[in-house]
Structure 1
């Protein structure tokens, strides 16, 4: 049994979609919509906008399915479409990245750990991330939660790698400030 070649488990469904099968499109939607909504929500931070982005991304994916070459999983190909659509939605809101100032971009020490319940900590971080300005939240989400490196983030956002790193550093600092606010510290 050869295991060196990549085989997407959903390739048959994708091929049926390419053939115009509407049921296959619905199958792909059911398989990926929840995960892709979560990606969109992390970037847009707005439920209705995340839903719109999700729908636009799936429409775009189905229209451009012929360009999917099966070199990576369908999910990773679709995720790129969702990320780009979410970034475009934010740009439409005219969100701007904070200007880079290399002199103040430094490493941030990790927040001291405490004895609180892990589930509460996760909720605390999630709520704090939602309070970040768009530019910070996008870079932080793409880097920490979606696994992009700063070069890729720079390409996605149309900024330099150093700007992405600076935004990430500032996002961490701001996140710590938010988490130290009285409503989060309790």
Structure 2
């Protein structure tokens, strides 16, 4: 008897979800909830809001499961829903991206090559949490979630150049926060 792969099991669970099986929905939730919560938490920077986004995203995913075509992994499809729900939650807070144009991007110093090995992961995480929403979202989508600026622009409804500017400014602000924290210790 052939052993089923993870993807085969995933597809079976998804098929059961499509037919309205609530146990299968719970199985799918258990498989993805922690990872999707972490994605939302990195974007919203608020535990309660990330929990709400997670629930909203799963409800949306289950309602729209018929639209999942398995062209990408279920996790990727769900992650897009979580990211969009997280961004919408931030928009509900009425936070706005700092308006920047391409000209302003030129005056950002390139400090990427500095050696940051002295900083611990926890310090970096805390510094990212201190970034303004717009900066944190773009930085998270670009560095942690692997989206390019064109995709970020599409997701957030901004231009690619605005995404690049936001990323550049976020990087600069992150360095400032980390340097301040270093001198505070």
Fold similarity call, TM over 0.5: yes
1:23-172 aligned at under 5 Å gives the runs 23-106=23-106, 108-110=110-112, 112-113=114-115, 116=118, 121-172=120-171
Q: When the two structures are aligned, how many residues end up with a matched partner?
A: 177
Q: TM-score, normalised by structure 2?
A: 0.90
Shift of 1:110: 2.1
**Alpha-carbon deviations, 1:39-92, whole Å to 9, x = none?**
000000000000000000000000110000111110000000000000000000
Q: Distance in 1 between matches of 2:33 and 2:183?
A: 31
Q: TM-score, normalised by structure 1?
A: 0.90
Q: Decide whether the 8 Å contact of 2:43 with 2:140 is kept in 1.
A: yes
Shift of 1:111: 6.1
Q: Distance in 1 between matches of 2:137 and 2:184?
A: 24
Unaligned runs of 5+ in 1: 1-6
Q: Distance in 2 between matches of 1:80 and 1:114?
A: 31
Q: Distance in 2 between matches of 1:83 and 1:152?
A: 12
Q: Decide whether the 8 Å contact of 2:153 with 2:163 is kept in 1.
A: yes
Shift of 1:109: 1.4
Unaligned runs of 5+ in 2: 1-6
Distance change (3 Å), C-alpha of 1:115 and 1:69: closer
Q: Distance in 2 between matches of 1:91 and 1:11?
A: 34
Shift of 1:103: 2.5
Shift of 1:185: 5.8
Shift of 1:114: 5.7
Distance change (3 Å), C-alpha of 1:182 and 1:65: closer
Distance change (3 Å), C-alpha of 1:61 and 1:165: same
Distance change (3 Å), C-alpha of 1:14 and 1:133: same
Q: Distance in 2 between matches of 1:110 and 1:169?
A: 10
Task: Name the structure with the higher helix share.
Answer: 2
